[in-house]
Every structure is written in structure tokens, then in C-alpha cells.
Structure 1
């Protein structure tokens, strides 16, 4: 589990990591975001909050559904992500999307104003998820929807392979998924925040990576701003770590490449109509 006791340091690492990403908009991210929007079954004229909007994948898809009579507010802590989102919004000529650079842990809106609150694969980056869910509950109208996606532990993805090898060197990589890595944890946290009508769908978004891409992922993983501070090992050990990573990739290679598993939980819940 990630140490979030020093919140300011943690937030700065999150900002630095996402400001550095210029290849975020890949097929995988679009599949995740578009599926979340599909499951949310948004309607015209609705008011939507997109938490950790990133490059606006969910915000833009939602804006096209709710139409000019509706409104999307997308919030994110990363100015780099929001700059990319703004360019895409302008290119699509959308007038119903407002972006706000703000820490999603501390957003403040009036009660009962949103029809739905969405968060695609980013809820685990919040420093206090229970508090955030309680706030979202108040922001929602009666019968309003919260919908987010998250991931289980133990999936055989390339990043999980990296983290497993790191343990051989006494490196404890932060586990962002831990608060919501099982259906039971998701349900319990939502119930404690006041939500009911909880639905959880498990879907597979895995894909085969080229072996060369899986090897090159070392650079991204070992320089990730959330991981790098944990790599307090000698240059010789780091070189050995990389060699072991490459050897494991080569051992797992098939004629299709390296299977990168991305089992995903899509979690939906409602605010009570009597609230």
C-alpha cells in the first residue's frame, strides 16, 4: 500500500508523473473510458462531473451524449493533462465542457447538482478515497449515479511483473490498487459512503504487447515518479534488476507477443432517491 502520510510530497509526485505523459491517449485508455461512459447510460441535458479527467476522454464522450443543454465539468490536478484535453475539446468544437485545474481530493461543489460523477481508472490516486466518496454523495442529485473503474491485484500484466521482480531487491513498490482491489472492498466503501444499488462488472481489456515494447517499458516504469523514489539501490543492482526483467520478458514471449492482462472492475452505485 502506498505511503500517503506525506500528502504534499505524494501530490507533487502525482503531478510530476502525469505532467510528463505525452502518450496517454492510446487504444487502451479510450476503451476503458468509453466503456465507463457506456455503462453509465447518460442522458441528454444531464450535469456530469468527471473526476481526474486527464486528457478528457470521458468528458468528451459524455459531452457528446448530454448535448448543448447538458454540462460536463472535468477536474484534474495535472496542468499537462488538462492542456491536452483543452486542445481536443476545441478541435471537437464542444461548448459544454468546463475544465478545472484542482486537486480532486479537495473539490467543493454545491449539494445535489450532478446527475452523475464519473472517474475512469484514477480513483486509486486519491489520498482519501472514503472522504471523496462521501463528498461525491452530497454533490449528486437524488438517485444520482457514481461510476468508476479500478483493477484487482495479481493480474499478470507487465507492470505487475516489474513490481514482483522489485521485491527480490527489497524494493516495496506502492500498491495504488489496494483500497479497491476486490469487489468486496468496492461494495463496502460505497455502502459506508451512503450509496446503494451497487453493481460491479468485471471485464478484460488485456492485449498482446510486442516483445520490444515490453522490454522498452522498463524505461517508463523505472522512471515513474511514483516508483522511482522507492528504487534506493546501487547502480549495479539496478542493472541486475533490468537484466532480470528483460530475461523474464523473453521467457514469457510467444508468437503473439507478451500478454498484458488488464482485468477491470467497473463499479456503479446510486444515491438514494430519499436522500
Structure 2
């Protein structure tokens, strides 16, 4: 299978599986950073927004509120189960201006230069060719419009992240990852360099230090199951799964860990008019 197709298949499978716990109260970081991304765009009523890798609507729904009933927000994601969650939330909130459809950033079926804003939160790094993906998104931004990318900063979910991957390495070294895909752009300089490779210059790249609370050991396990880690966990047999779970719960319990690092980087680029 081609690298891109394989990456798409893995991401879709992981996030379709994670949908059952994606919106769990232990996983408030999706909404927190999705909303913060939209806040940086200063959207106005009647504007149009494309949200790629929209998940269950963490950025698309705040965007829909910002553009109002006469605006339009289109959310695109590979994971149909997450799209169903987004549609249900839009219905509950009366946001008929938000619509959600299956698709991926490398084969967008939208005309050039039609959106006031194009958004991608925690998604651009899943594509092997990030500059190529960014060009696809930038192509859809109208003159004077904005592109917003949000990615993870350094030390993602540490110190618990390293403990998780060590527990995987012990049980199933063949699925252990030595790095996360977002490590390629986990500081402002590397993110700026990637954007330059896509032909985009911007001074609006902001690094924000933060943390995410871990109230109980079970919270950490819920975060693992309600995120991209699910793709790795679902490859374990029952006995290995039980040992990995126990190792992670014991670490949180014995270390009295109350939070993990959740550092993010926001980039906003404005297309010249």
C-alpha cells in the first residue's frame, strides 16, 4: 500500500475506534485547543470556514457559533464515527450552518480560494508530506483569508507518554514507536520551516505551555483509549493489553501524577489580498 494510503487507513481506524471515548470528560483538551484555535481567527458573521481533520467538532462548532446562522462551516475527517458525534452535537446546539463530511486533506473536492478560513487542529502531522498537505489547504483560502494550524509542542503528554510507550515496547516491540509524527514540527522553528517549504511565510506562530489534568489513573487510560493511541492499543492481545493497562495505572497511582504536559503551537497565516 502506498505510504499516504497506509497513513490514512491507520488514522481512520484509530480514530473510529477512539470515538467511543473521544468526548469523555477526561479528554477536554480537544475542545480546549479547538476553541483556542478559533479564538485566534477573529471570525465574523456570514464567513465560511473549512475545518480539516475536524474530529468531533472541537474547532468546527465554535467556528459555527462565530460565523452565525448565515455563515457556513464544513468539517472534514477520515473517521466517520467522529463525524457522527460532530453532527449530533451540531443538531443539539441548533448549528445548522455546520456540516460534516468524510474526506481527507490530500484530495479535497472544493474550489480554489473560496474559504475565509481553513483550519487544521492536530491533524497536519499525520500526512507524510506535510508541505504538500499545507499547499492543498492554502489553495482553498481566499485572498485576505487565513490558514490556522495547531500542533503539539515538545514533551507531549509527558511524563506519562514515555511510560506508555515503554509498556508497549516490553509487550509488543514491533508496534513500538520511537517518535510521534508531530515531533517533526514540535517547535516554532520547525513549524515555520515546514510552512516555508509550502510557500507560506508568517510571523504569527505562538508557542503555549500548558498541562492537562489527570484526576485518577483511570483518567489516563481513558485518554489513551480516546485518542490516537487507540490504534496501538487495539493491536495488543488480551494478556498484553492487561499488562500494559496495569503498568500505566500503577505509574499514575504510584507517582501521584496530577497532570501531563499539553504544550501546543498555534500558527496563523493570512493570504495577501
TM-score, reference length from structure 1: 0.83
Q: Is the 8 A contact 1:159 1:221 kept in 2?
A: no
Q: Please give the secondary structure, in 2, of the residue aligned with 1:260.
A: strand
In 2, Cα distance between the equivalents of 1:130 and 1:222?
A: 24
In the alignment, the residues of structure 2 paired with residue 271 and residue 219 of structure 1 have an alpha-carbon distance, to the nearest angstrom, of 37
Instruction: Write out per-residue CA displacement over residues 137-168 of structure 1, whole angstroms, 9 at most, x where no aligned residue.
Output: 21111132111211123342423431245456
- Pair 1:23–1:270, CA change in 2 (3 A): same
Unaligned runs of at least 5 residues, structure 1: none
Within a 5 Å distance, the mapping from 1:166-177 to structure 2 comes to: 166-167=168-169, 170=173, 172-173=176-177, 175-177=180-182
The equivalent of 2:104 in structure 1 is 103
- Shift of residue 179 of structure 1? 2.5
* 1:198-257 Cα distance to aligned partner (Å, 9 max, x none): 31222234133134325645973999453248769x95x77665555444333421xxx4
> What is the Cα deviation at residue 265 of structure 1?
0.9
SS class of match (1:186)? helix
Residue in 2 that maps onto 1:252:
255
Label 1:66 to 1:223 Cα distance change in 2 as closer, same or farther (>3 A): closer
Q: CA deviation at 1:188?
A: 0.9
Point out where structure 2 has 5 or more consecutive residues left out of the alignment: none
Equivalent pair of 2:122/2:150 in contact (CA under 8 Å): yes
RMSD across aligned C-alpha pairs, in angstroms? 3.0
Within 2, Cα distance between the matches of 1:12 and 1:123? 15
Q: Which residue of 2 aligns with 1:84?
A: 85
Q: Distance in 2 between matches of 1:126 and 1:250?
A: 35
The 10-residue stretch of structure 1 (79-88 or 15-24) with the greater mean CA deviation from structure 2: 15-24
Correspondence for 1:22: 20
User: Equivalent residue for 2:262?
Assistant: 262
- Secondary structure of 2:268's counterpart equals strand
User: Match of 2:204?
Assistant: 199
Asked if residue 9 in structure 1 is aligned to residue 14 in structure 2, the reply is no
Query: Secondary structure of 2:14's partner?
Result: helix
Indicate conservation of the 8 Å contact 1:158/1:214, yes or no: no
Q: Which residue does the alignment assign to 1:140?
A: 141
C-alpha distance in structure 2 between counterparts of 1:223 and 1:125, whole Å: 10
- Structural mapping, 1:1-275, within 5 Å: 6-20=3-17, 21-25=19-23, 26-155=27-156, 156-167=158-169, 170=173, 172-173=176-177, 175-214=180-219, 216-217=221-222, 220=225, 224-228=229-233, 244-253=247-256, 257-273=257-273
The higher relative CO (CA closer than 8 Å, separation ≥ 6) is in 2
How many equivalent pairs are there? 265
